[in-house]
Amino acid sequence: MLFENDADFLNKIIFECVQIKAAVVSSDESEESGLRKILNFGHTFAHAIESDSDYKMPHGKAVIAGIVSALNLSAELRLINDDQLNYMLELPMKFKSSIRFKRNNSNDIYNKMVYDKKNRSGEIRFVLLKDFGELIIDIPVETKDVIKSLKTTEQVWFKRATAGL
């Protein structure tokens, strides 16, 4: 239904998403409990991807690519299994045809992540998925794992894009 341009359905989804976001923000307005950080899933990657595109990629599209990268990193760290990963990739990958993700830029994206304002003590911290509906926050990750997840995102992006998936 999401891709059938059903305005009523889309309005309902948007309304529910706004309600969820508002509830999360109002329960952690000053970011003390950490709950609000769940809204940053995919954003650590997304901000670097946006920067790497010289801000030609819109934020929403960069977030989709960032979510794919965060899912790949979650799988790389064995927080989710391959079946979960493949299932969770189905929806964001439906948008791939409208997102121009550059090839061979994993190191450039990582280098931009190093300067993210949300880093702590020189460490890049991530919001990752541990299971369906279970996010974990402020996870420091080794450089090699981040680079590998970015390379996996690139491979998945172009493999699926050329396969028409």
For the stretch 36-48, pLDDT in tens is 887 889 999 999 9
Task: Give the residue from 139, 116, 127 showing the smallest Cα distance to 51.
Answer: 116
pTM to 2 decimal places: 0.84
pLDDT attached to residue 71: 96
What share of the chain in percent tops pLDDT 70?
91
Token duo for residue 155: 């491979």
pLDDT band, residue 26 (cuts 50/70/90):
confident
Return the higher-pLDDT residue of 52 and 28. 52
The better pLDDT of the pair 31, 154 is held by: 154
Q: Are 82 and 74 in contact (CB under 8 A)?
A: no
Quick one: average pLDDT of 113-127?
80
Q: pLDDT-based confidence at 33, cuts 50/70/90?
A: confident
More confident residue, 159 or 25: 25
* Rounded average pLDDT over 95-109: 79
Whether the per-residue pLDDT at 165 is higher than 50: the answer is no
Q: What is the pLDDT of residue 1?
A: 55
Question: For residue 71, which of 143, 132, 144 has the smallest C-alpha distance?
Answer: 132
1 to 63, 67, 97, 132: CA distances (angstroms): 22, 21, 19, 21
Q: What percent of the chain has pLDDT over 90?
A: 37
What's the pLDDT score for residue 24? Answer: 83
